[in-house]
Amino acid sequence: MGEPLITLEHVTRTFDVKRQTIKAVDDISLTIPEGEVLCLVGESGCGKTTTGKMIAGLLATSAGRILYRGQDIATMNRADRRRYRLGVQMVHQDPYASLNPVQMIYNIIAAPLQHHGFTRGEAATRERVRELLTTVDLTPPDDYLEKYPHQLSGGQRQRVSVARALTVRPSFIIADEAVSMVDVSIRISLLKMFGRLKDEMGVGVLFITHDLALAKYFAWEGRIGVMYLGRLAEIGPAQQVVAHPQHPYTQVLLSAIPEADPDRTRSKQRIELRSMDVPSLLRLPSGCAFHPRCPAFAGEICEKVVPPLKKAGWGSDVACHLVK
Amino acid sequence: MEPILSVRDLTIEYAARRGKVRAIRSVSFDVRRGEALALIGESGSGKTTLGLGIVQLLPSTARIAGGSIVYRRYSDTGQPMRETEVLTLKDADLRRFRWAECAMVFQSALNALNPVLRISDHFADTAKAHRYLSGPRQGAALTERSRHLLSRVRLDPDRVWRAFPHELSGGMRQRVLIALSLLLEPQLLILDEPTTALDILTQRNIMDVLKELRTQLDFSLVFISHDLSLAAELADRVATVYAGKIVEIGEVYTIFRNPHHPYTIGLIKAVPTLTSDKSELTSIPGSPPDLIELPSGCKFHPRCPLADDHCRREEPELIDVESGHRVACWRWQDARAVLKAYQV
């Protein structure tokens, strides 16, 4: 792994809703080396999308800093800011909403190339657009140049989104639920394409998903971070987090996932929660936010003290008082 | 097991500007008493249309072009009582069939509750519309039954009964709808994507509730889903739907352990599980067909690694490959070869 590309230092983000304050992301610290694949998983409202948006620079932090190649993105100078803006790209969840419906695929991809001066002249732009379409497996590229987004399937549109993100030669792509709206039969080929970007171009990926099985598949040699109510519960090597989950929340999640194998899914050991109620972000529980539901709840310490994320077994960092 | 629903040669089309959308093409299957049947397939395969067709709630652009749906009512002791042709039901009879015999919980159930009515009013309105426990002095009985159903789906009746839908989470609303659908003791419950758009722990809760209900109450379940793991967990039998046709149907263990249709095999191989190895996973090439301009022959042939001239020419019908396991594929015997073919 290379140099730290993205560093989060005690990043917090709050939102004001009806004169109340919601803490969507609470004190997250994280380092993402160049070329790494990191999957953030968690349920809706856990702050994974907010974290992604802050890294992309689409949302400011309320507290804490985000560094890109060692420089604070909030205070960087114009030239650095431009480099960061191009270096970190985002692929959104809904391929039906993220492409301009009145532009041909050629224009969608050519616009950033020309605007940022990556290609000069019509011929060079056309050639580069063809190249990018080939990179995302839209072949032969000439079949797609003059199509409009509505003429493509969801999977193909998502590939166009990725090609568009690649126009500015980014070093990091944030993919927020990028395959969840695509048919199951073609998800894997999309993920394989993302994987190739990493292998062949060294592009790092932050993959945000609610599907742990997908996260394990995609991260494989990378890391998985599990978030719960705005905090990182556990982060570690993908294979280890799934095979040896240490935070009780990760364990509950893994035990709850149904699997596409009737033998395994019906014989799976389930861990029951103490309570099914998801706490409101407006009234976060004291201490460890998971304590009212935690099957391993150990009394006062869990109710009073926020567990810090610290080194635990299997190369993971875990935020739980009970994990030594 | 005796069927409670027999669908035969059902064909449903939609009128679109570009032409006829052939959403369901001559589909036949049975739903047996007390079983859970999963209809799996991708978006646009026609599985929701099939569900809507059974309860006769198709939009006005749809037309039933042929076939029959026979529903059988059984007595409490399991004796067949009468047969009804659903497609010819009209007005009052149709209204009675819906909900009292066959209830459906729709996709995007989160929007299915009326936002200005309390949960209690939803139960009262449903009962009133179907003249169920709605006579004078029956209010208390209705309340008691409703609250009982709410506790059956693991909701606290005291908390939920007077609540408005917006005060409940997505999972709670979904469970309210399941309770509501069971109010008139239907024999058949159709669930369209019951856990889609819900978080993992909420999904788990809904699945457990459904499993529990099935052991306590006597009803058959048809659920429509693109999620194979849901089928693996809940279904007794699984039917794979592709381009408006059932291409494989069989007992759940058979379908997952020994699938014969290249599409079923492809779907299973496309879904990562927590234990699957990276190399085991592959996508099905191409994308689902346009239902207006369907390919010739077997509708799966443009995506199938085994397709030959025969497949391109002629569409295969469902045939029995072993007891209770039916497949519509000319080359089903080469299923093993498909496994390899997908391993690229």
- Per residue in A112-138, pLDDT (tens digit) is 999 999 999 999 999 999 999 999 989
The verdict on B78 and B168 lying in the same domain is yes
Q: Distance, in angstroms, between B204 CA and closest chain A CA?
A: 6
The H-assigned helical ranges of chain A are 48-55, 78-87, 105-115, 122-135, 142-145, 154-166, 184-201, 212-219, 238-243, 248-256, 262-267, 300-304
| Interatomic CA distance for residues B63 and B23, integer angstroms | 10
In a domain, B241, yes or no: no
Closest Cα partner for B180 from B134, B111, B129, B126?
B126
| Whole-angstrom distance, CA of residue A243 vs CA of residue A240 | 5
Residues B225 and B280 in one domain: no
Q: Could you list the residue range(s) of the whole structural domain that residue A90 is in?
A: 4-102+148-318
State mean pLDDT over A244-270: 93
Q: Are residues B210 and B279 in the same domain?
A: no
How many structural domains compose chain B?
Answer: 2
**B215/A contact by beta carbon, under 8 A:** no
Q: What is the CATH number of the domain that holds A40?
A: 3.40.50.300
- B248 is a domain residue: no
- Flag whether residue B271 sits within 8 Å of chain A, measured between CB atoms: yes
pLDDT of residue B109: 64
Q: Considering the domain boundaries, does residue B124 fall inside one?
A: yes
Examine residue B9 and state whether it is found in any structural domain, yes or no. yes
Contact flag B274-A254 (C-beta cutoff 8 Å): yes
CB proximity list for B272: less than 8 A, separation 6 or greater: A188, A213, A214, A216, A217, B281
Task: Flag whether A108 is in a domain.
Answer: no
In total, how many domains does chain A have?
Answer: 1
Does residue A153 register a pLDDT over 90?
no
A213 and chain B in contact, CB less than 8 A: yes
Contacts of B204 in chain A (CB under 8 A): 256-258, 270
Residue B22: in which H helix or E strand, if any? strand B19-32
Residues shown for chain A: 324
For residue B21, give the 3-state DSSP assignment.
strand
Answer whether residue B341 shows pLDDT above 80. no
Do B130 and B176 share a domain, yes or no?
Answer: yes
Q: What is the pLDDT of residues A83-106, one digit of tens each?
A: 999 999 999 888 888 999 999 999
Preferred mutation among A184, A199, A229, A254 to probe B, highest tally of B CBs within 10 A: A184
Judgement on whether residues B94 and B176 belong to the same structural domain of the protein: yes
* A272-316 confidence digits (pLDDT tens): 888 877 788 888 899 999 999 999 999 999 999 999 999 999 999
| pLDDT greater at residue A251 or residue A45 | A251
Tell which of A137, A138, A183 to mutate to test the B interface (max B CBs under 10 Å).
Answer: A183
Examine the domain organization and report whether B165 and B35 are in the same domain.
yes
pLDDT at residue B193 greater than cutoff 50: yes
Indicate if the pLDDT at residue B254 is higher than 60.
yes
The reply to whether B231 and B292 lie within a common domain is no
Give residue A180's Cα distance to chain centre.
12
| Contact between chains at A156 and B270 (C-beta distance less than 8 A) | no
For residues A149 and A160, is the Cβ–Cβ distance under 8 A?
yes
Question: Does residue B329 share a domain with residue B265?
Answer: yes
pLDDT above 90: percentage of residues in chain B: 65
Reported as a pLDDT band with limits 50, 70 and 90, residue B338 is confident
Q: Is B197 in the A-facing interface, judged by CB distances under 8 Å?
A: no
Q: Residue A176 above 50 pLDDT?
A: yes
pLDDT at B250: 97
Residue B252 located in a structural domain: no
Q: Are residues B277 and B329 in the same domain?
A: yes
pLDDT class for A2, splitting at 50, 70, 90?
Answer: low
Q: How many contacts, defined by CB atoms under 8 Å, are there between A and B? A: 120
The answer to whether position A115 is within a domain reads no
* Per-residue pLDDT at B169: 84
Contact A43 B201 (CB under 8 A): yes
Residue B274: list chain A partners with CB under 8 A.
212-213, 216, 242, 254, 257, 259
The token pair at A149 is 């987004």
Answer whether residue A312 is part of any domain: yes
Distance, CA of A156 to CA of A142 (rounded, Å): 14
Q: Which of A276, A266, A264, A270 is nearest to B36 (CA)?
A: A266
* Whether pLDDT at B146 is above 80: yes
pLDDT score recorded for residue A294: 95
How many CB atoms sit inside 10 A of residue A61's CB? Answer: 22
What is the model's pLDDT at position B327?
Answer: 97
Name residues 149-168 of chain A within 8 A of B (Cβ).
153, 155-156
pLDDT at residue number B343: 60
> CA B58 to CA A265: how far, in whole Å?
34
**Where are the strands (E) in B111-176, listed by range?**
none
Do A297 and A249 contact (CB within 8 A), yes or no?
no
Specify whether the CB–CB gap between A314 and A295 falls below 8 A.
no
A228 to chain B, closest Cα gap in Å = 12
d(CA B153, CA A223): 37
Q: Which of A220, A253, A276 sits opposite B278 (nearest CB)?
A: A220
* Phi, psi for residue B108 in degrees, rounded to 5: 50, 45
Contact between B276 and A254 using a beta-carbon 8 Å cutoff: no
Residue B80 per-residue DSSP state: E
Tell me: do B219 and B335 sit in the same domain: no
Q: Is B248 helix (H, G, I), strand (E, B) or coil?
A: strand
For residue A202, being part of any structural domain is answered with: yes
Is residue A43 within 8 angstroms of chain B, CB to CB? Answer: yes
Q: Is A48 on the interface with B (CB under 8 A)?
A: no
The neighbouring-strand residues paired with B251 are B237
Same domain? For B269 and B185 the reply is no
- Measured CA to CA in angstroms, residue A139 lies from A31, A47, A150, B14 at distances of 36, 37, 18, 32
Chain A, nearest residue to B172 by Cα: A277
Mean pLDDT calculated for residue range B49-65: 93
Average pLDDT for residues B161-181, to the nearest whole number?
Answer: 91
Place B74 in a pLDDT band, splitting at 50, 70 and 90.
confident
Separation of alpha carbons A130 and A142, rounded Å: 7
pLDDT band at B344 (very low <50, low <70, confident <90, very high): very low
- The answer as to whether B242 is a domain residue is no
Q: Inform me whether the C-beta atom of residue A199 falls under 8 Å from chain B C-beta atoms.
A: no
Instruction: Kindly state the average pLDDT of the residues A43-65.
Output: 93
Nearest residue of A to residue B211, measured between CA atoms = A266
CATH of the domain at B176: 3.40.50.300
Residue whose structure tokens are 């408006």: B244
**What is the domain extent for residue B228?**
3-235
Same domain, B286 and B190: no
Contacting residues of A for B231, CB less than 8 Å apart: 260
Please state, for a pLDDT cut of 70, what percent of chain A lies above it.
99
- The pLDDT of residue B178 is above 60: yes
Residue predicted with more confidence, B276 or A47: A47
Residue of A137, A144, A185 to mutate when probing chain B, most B C-beta within 10 A: A185
